[in-house]
Chain A
Amino acid sequence: MTVVVMILLAAAVAAWVLAPLRNATAPADPRARSGARDETPPETGGGAPGATIGRTPGGER
């Protein structure tokens, strides 16, 4: 029982301590990084090329 507790505790401690490294090395969404722009052409009805993701056609109000 004690051994199981210790193993679980060690795993939890290691996971928490190493979490910043995992976050830093996780493959990031290239579009989300440093303000990358979506090169997808705008839908018909408005909006300029280079508008950021999520904007509605015709621009955000």
Chain B
Amino acid sequence: MADLGRFGLTSALVLAVYAVAAAWLGARPRRPELVASAVRAVSMIAALEVLAAVVLAGALLGRDYSFAYVTSHVSNAQAMVYDLTSFWGGMEGSLLLWALILSGYSLAVVRSIGRDRPRLLPGVVGVCATVSAFFLFMLVAVASPFATVPFPPADGRGMNPLLLNPWMAIHPPTLYLGFVGLTVPFAIVVASLADGAIEEAGVLLARRWMLWAWYCLTMGLMFGAKWSYVVLGWGGYWAWDPVENAALMPWLVATAFLHSVMIQERRAMLGQWTALLVVLAFGLSIFGTFLTRSGVLSSIHSFTQSPLGAYFLGFLALVMVGAFALVAWRWEALRSLNQLDAVLSRESAFLLNNVVFLTTAFAVFLGTVFPVISEALTGRRVNVGPPFFDHVVSPLALLLLLLMGVAPLIAWRRATMADLRSAFLAPGASGVLLGLALLAAGIRAPGAVLAFALCGFVAATIALEFIRGIRIRRTHQGAGAVAALWALVMSNRRRYGGYVVHLGILLVFAGITGSSVFSTQRVATLRPGDSVQVARYRITYDGISEATRNGALVVTARLHAFEGRRDLGPLDASRNLFLAGSDSTTDVALRSTPANDLYVILAAWTREGGATLRVLVNPLVMWIWAGGLVLTAGAVIAMLPERRPAPALAGALAGALTSEGP
């Protein structure tokens, strides 16, 4: 069966190379038959990759240890569901997943562009097939999932135990949907630049695809944070690890794009900038894949030796040089049709928002690659840890929070001080009152007070926008409040979906602030019957028990939690010591409420029955996960097709826009 898998990937590679050539030759002069053939090749690439994926999945589920990949990632003791998730648990399989998702996206975008903008079809097919060809080449020549072993063992090594978790089952595919999804807007923009169809607004076409990729990236980050929180057992959900940063950087750039594209759409400005953002977001997605797949993270010294890393860097350099050259070539055509009318305007606020997003992305990039840079320049590897990121990113995040409240309410083109006063008086007062209330409640952390005050300000601006819209609809249509709200949201899904996304981000922001500033923890060594008090919780230690489960010795500290006199019930904090190898995982004892999380880690234990516990009380963590749900609702609303026709293209609108409002 491995032969069939290899056949699928090799044939898909040949077809991808053919599709690039056919699309290129079919573009100029127009030869529709070549383009039609290239489109068929794209369909066949997908079919052959599905064939390869089915072969690999069959081998994993059937525990066919003649496959080297199966031997490395499956074991007889492993639950069947993790046999399947081990598809993306290793480098070769995850590269195949990358290629598979890309082929799905390629099919979808080729169908959509072929219908809406056939002129761009050769370019889109060419770019998608180029990226596919690169990944297929890696799968065929460098990291094949279909390598076989001459003497198959009776059992495999199994997956890294840390990955045997439901969150880890969905985190990588979701993140990949986002990462790979950034290829589509890139392909559209490159196609429109190559074709010279700037008036066809490739950047605007790319918006919907970028929104989807952005949403998947967001959820991928969320799932990763949740996994880190419940599985790694260190008490937090974000550690500024290079792998996390690799996903955060394209997310930041994609977010900047989703804001700047509004300026391009409404005011025919920032065309050059927006095109660059699309290129940059795609480049960072490849960079992130390189970071996580090249071995540069596990060992910084393997950077130059890893053949995978060298290929990724070469491809990244080639694509970036090509894409930036294309933008430079069309620089004049992308030039803004309008100028910034006033400093006090929505355009300025969005521009500032973009600068802050890019500055944040650059700071994260610098901190992530600093060890490599320092080693290259001085021969000494210098790591920058979480304090660097916290100090640099926190003020920028507060500025973004402020802009999130300001930008939607400020007028397009030019705002007056009178406008600002009427728009911001009530929300500003809400924020100040919340800040004062927190100070009065005894909270003395200035950063947290400022962050919560800004959250209050932004929440008030969003609430006012909804109230204003509902009031107008009720006055003019006599509808009830709920019907008016529904009609309001459905009448402008992008705008109100965007507000709901902002609400979700606010919840995430409040959760991050609460859990990072007000977290309390205590480490205590207890004997059975002893208690430890942390914040308003008391944990009683009842004893330790041992059991063998799923190939691991499970050591469990039996606990009982109390809040004041209220009995919160029993809790178990465990460590799983895997019998094969030296791996261990943590099952934290977790009790979540909207106010805070009680989080207990079994750190150590003795033969005499004593246990060392690390007990944390993390406030508002649940708000982060709730924010993810709200954000999902907003993104779904924003992605729904508009009932009314989308605003005319930016060029045509440029002179006509005089009205204010989003």
Binding site for B on A (CB under 8 A): 2-3, 5-6, 9-10, 13, 16-21, 23-25
Contact = CB atoms under 8 A, between A and B. Distances in A.
A17 B37 contact: yes
Contacts of B33: 20-21, 23-25
A19 to B, nearest CB: 7
B44 A21 contact: no
Interface in B1-48: 3-4, 7, 11, 15, 18, 31-34, 36-37, 40-41, 44, 47-48
Contact of B15 (A2, A6, A17): A17
A5 to B, nearest CB: 8
Contact of A19 (B4, B34, B40, B48): B40
Q: How large is the interface on B (under 10, 10 to 19, 20 to 34, 35 or more residues)?
A: 10 to 19
Interface of B: 3-4, 7, 11, 15, 18, 31-34, 36-37, 40-41, 44, 47-48
Given A10-B11, A23-B33, A24-B33, A17 B41 contact: yes
B3 A6 contact: yes
B44 A13 contact: yes
Nearest to A22: B33
Given A17-B44, A21-B33, A25-B33, 14 more contacts: A2-B4, A5-B4, A6-B3, A6-B4, A9-B11, A10-B11, A13-B11, A13-B44, A16-B44, A18-B37, A19-B37, A19-B40, A20-B33, A20-B34
Nearest to A24: B33
A6 B33 CA distance: 27
23 contacts: A3-B3, A5-B4, A6-B3, A6-B4, A6-B7, A10-B7, A10-B11, A13-B15, A13-B48, A17-B18, A17-B40, A17-B41, A17-B44, A19-B40, A20-B36, A20-B37, A20-B40, A21-B33, A21-B34, A21-B37, A23-B33, A24-B31, A24-B32
Among A9, A17, A19, residue most surrounded by chain B Cβ atoms (within 10 Å): A17
Contacts of B31: 24
Contacts of B15: 13, 17
A28 B31 CA distance: 17
A28 to B, nearest CB: 13
Contacts of A9: 7, 11
Nearest to B11: A10
Contacts of A16: 40, 44
Nearest to B40: A17
B587 to A, nearest CB: 45
A4 to B, nearest CB: 12
A13 B44 CA distance: 7
Given A13-B44, A20-B33, A21-B34, A2 B18 contact: no
Contacts of A13: 11, 15, 44, 47-48
A4 B351 CA distance: 61
A17 B37 CA distance: 5
Contacts of B32: 24
Contacts of B41: 17
Considering residues A20, A21, A23, A25, which has the most beta carbons from chain B within 10 angstroms of its beta carbon?
A: A20
Task: Give 3 nearest A-B pairs by CB, closest first.
Answer: A24-B33, A20-B36, A20-B37
